[in-house]
């Protein structure tokens, strides 16, 4: 990471070489403030590690890009992205960074946790509201997921709609023509302040434990996310939190979208042939020599030489890790979706009906009156 940041400063000043992702926490069921706090705490650990390797804060901070998932709570997500910039500026300033280094680069993606298998066209609407809040909140780049990605490799229609959602927001809604569309709204400003304070409190708890790496080794963030996920699951079970088309207003007559068969062998063979062609154009005799040099030097220039000689990203990564020491073992956060429990129940019901010819019967015994 330090080598990439140093190389980029000289050779590609606008290149962001470090991505801090909040997606694993979001997809585990974390709250909006938890996802942001843990991402910021991770970034602080990275900053300290980079400084220990000789980089200044003004060399390191401009290399960062944050990637966050956008949930369904429209105003909360707008406030969170606005709060993220405030908090990152506060952190970088505390490290001694200048105003330019305090600027945050934000990538957003629509929520995977919110998507549903049943009534999947509702995912179109979810992704649209999530994308809109991300744009209003000021994200720099945005990934909008196709509505059918849970069911199959997204088809041309699904991918086109996802792409055009970007275009409508940019070209027809003109959101990008305003620096801060929500700025000045009492509600959004008040919520931004509340989100920032809540996030900062969680961030400080991580700092008390010695930083994000030590907190993860101790299992504290994992426990916090698991506790939030459990509470969210209870609310979904009681339909306090609603998934339209799944735990509320289900369409029992819907026709399921069937996945399109994908010939995995054909795809693999196509990739293999493309790789062979690329290697044929490169100097194959120098490839292994370049990889050996990378294993010894483990530098960005050596990696570039290996790539030019026809090495794949996997080969480059493997060579660069030749002398790496084993890292700590940390319990991962299990990715899940909010609608999974209801989807499982409905799938079992459908299987029962297919097997018996009628759906399960629910009744109250006489003695229960």
- pLDDT reported for residue 61: 97
Confidence band of 263 (pLDDT split at 50, 70, 90) = low
- pLDDT reported for residue 262: 64
Confidence band of 82 (pLDDT split at 50, 70, 90) = very high
Strand 64-70 and strand 18-21: the pairing is parallel
Q: Whole-angstrom Cα distance, residue 318 to residue 321?
A: 5
- 98, 58 contact by CB (below 8 A): yes
- pLDDT reported for residue 271: 64
- pLDDT reported for residue 184: 94
**Per-residue pLDDT at 306 exceeds 90:** no
Confidence band of 315 (pLDDT split at 50, 70, 90) = confident
- State mean pLDDT over 311-328: 84
State CA 157 to chain mean position distance: 24
**Per-residue pLDDT at 101 exceeds 80:** yes
Length of the chain: 369
- Supply the mean pLDDT for the chain: 91
Question: Any idea which of 53-62, 88-97, 258-267, 292-301 has the lowest mean pLDDT?
Answer: 258-267
**Per-residue pLDDT at 282 exceeds 60:** no
Structure tokens at 6: 């140093």
Q: Whole-angstrom Cα distance, residue 40 to residue 91?
A: 9
- State mean pLDDT over 298-321: 83
Helix (H) or strand (E) holding 69: strand 64-70
Quote the percentage of the chain above a pLDDT of 90: 72
- pLDDT reported for residue 21: 97
Confidence band of 273 (pLDDT split at 50, 70, 90) = low
Summarised one tens digit per residue, pLDDT across range 321-352 is 888 888 888 999 999 999 999 999 999 998 99
**Per-residue pLDDT at 176 exceeds 90:** no
- State mean pLDDT over 214-233: 97
- pLDDT reported for residue 270: 67
Architecture label for domain 2-259+339-346: Alpha-Beta Barrel (3.20)
**Per-residue pLDDT at 112 exceeds 90:** yes
Domain ranges of the chain: 2-259+339-346, 264-320
Q: What is the pTM of this model?
A: 0.89
In the block, residue with structure tokens 């929520």: 111
- State mean pLDDT over 7-33: 95
Closest CA to 82 of 29, 135, 42, 158: 135
**How does 59-96 read in b/e, with b if 16+ C-beta sit within 10 Å?**
bbbbbbbbbbbbbbeebbbbbbbbbbbbbbbebbeebe
Confidence band of 191 (pLDDT split at 50, 70, 90) = very high
**Per-residue pLDDT at 258 exceeds 80:** no
Confidence band of 218 (pLDDT split at 50, 70, 90) = very high
**Per-residue pLDDT at 79 exceeds 80:** yes
**Per-residue pLDDT at 276 exceeds 80:** no
């Amino acid at each position: 990471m330090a080598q990439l940041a140093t190389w980029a400063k000289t050779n590609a000043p606008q290149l962001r070489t470090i991505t801090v992702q909040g997606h694993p926490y979001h997809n585990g069921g974390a709250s909006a403030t938890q996802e942001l706090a843990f991402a910021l705490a991770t970034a602080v650990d990275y900053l300290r590690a980079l400084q220990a390797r000789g980089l200044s804060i003004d060399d390191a901070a401009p290399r960062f890009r944050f990637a966050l998932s956008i949930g369904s709570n429209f105003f909360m997500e707008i406030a969170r992205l606005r709060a993220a910039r405030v908090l990152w500026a506060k952190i970088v300033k505390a490290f001694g960074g200048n105003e330019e280094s305090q600027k945050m680069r934000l990538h957003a993606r629509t929520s995977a946790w919110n998507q549903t298998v049943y009534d999947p066209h509702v995912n179109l609407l979810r992704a649209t509201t999530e994308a809109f809040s991300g744009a209003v909140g000021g994200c720099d780049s945005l990934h909008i997921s196709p509505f059918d990605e849970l069911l199959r490799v997204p088809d041309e229609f699904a991918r086109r709609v996802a792409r055009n959602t970007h275009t409508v927001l940019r070209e027809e809604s003109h959101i990008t023509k305003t620096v801060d569309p929500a700025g000045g709204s009492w509600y959004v400003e008040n919520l931004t302040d509340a989100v920032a304070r809540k996030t900062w409190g969680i961030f400080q708890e991580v700092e008390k434990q010695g930083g994000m790496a030590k907190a993860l080794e101790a299992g504290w963030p994992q426990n916090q996310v698991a506790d939030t996920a459990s509470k969210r699951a209870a609310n979904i079970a009681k339909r306090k939190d609603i998934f339209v088309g799944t735990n509320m207003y289900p369409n029992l007559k819907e026709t399921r979208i069937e996945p399109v068969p994908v010939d995995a062998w054909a795809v693999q063979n196509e990739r293999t042939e493309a790789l062979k062609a690329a290697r044929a154009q490169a100097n194959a005799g120098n490839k292994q020599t370049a990889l050996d040099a990378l294993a010894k030097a483990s530098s960005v220039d050596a990696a570039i030489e290996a790539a030019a000689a026809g090495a794949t990203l996997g080969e480059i990564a493997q060579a660069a890790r030749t002398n790496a020491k084993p890292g700590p073992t940390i319990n991962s956060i299990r990715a899940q979706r909010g609608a999974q429990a209801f989807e499982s129940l409905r799938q079992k019901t459908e299987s029962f009906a297919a097997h018996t010819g009628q759906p399960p019967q629910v009744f109250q015994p006489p003695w229960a009156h």
